[in-house]
Amino acid sequence: MSGLESLYQELILDHSKNRRGFGLAEPGAHSATVHQRNPICGDEVTLRVDVDDDRVTSVTWEGAGCSISQASASMLVSLLAEDGGDDGMARADAEALIAKFREALRSRGQIPLDEETFGDAAALSGVSKYTARVKCAMLAWVALEEGLRQA
């Protein structure tokens, strides 16, 4: 295993054990709560997103499943918090991130996730080579996508 692969594995394990944004916050005036389940492996995530003035102001979640699904949800929340700052991330920017993440994960390893854009979530690039695991990594991102439609 290369040094980079080892680092990525450590990031995934850290996020799966020390889950950022875990625990659903009280719903806000403009929030949506979405539940997603992967029927293949049993991973589940319930995600709550708050949107105010077309900005994603809060994302929290609860779930259970494999380390990839749990780490991916944690990484998503961290990314939104880092890139959105105190005012939150613009809805359009969050939707663009989801689309780029989906494209990379469906590329079967051909499109790596850029660390500058995806932060710790770039560690999930290798998942794209294992089609059975893509749904695990996408679960929280699909929940956010649906939540943004509803909020």
φ, ψ (nearest 5 deg) of residue 69: -65, -40
Please, is 147 exposed, middle or buried when counting C-beta atoms within 10 Å of its C-beta (0-12, 13-18, 19+)? buried
Query: Can you give the pLDDT at residue 4?
Result: 64
Average pLDDT over residues 99-116: 96
The first and second tokens of residue 20, run together, are 């950022």
Query: Can you give the pLDDT at residue 62?
Result: 98
Instruction: With residue 80 as reference, give the H or E element that holds it.
Output: helix 67-84
Positive or negative, the CA dihedral 79, 98, 37, 30 is positive
Q: What is the mean pLDDT of the chain?
A: 94
The first and second tokens of residue 41, run together, are 């492996």
More confident residue, 148 or 84: 148
pLDDT above 90 for 104: yes
pLDDT above 70 for 3: no
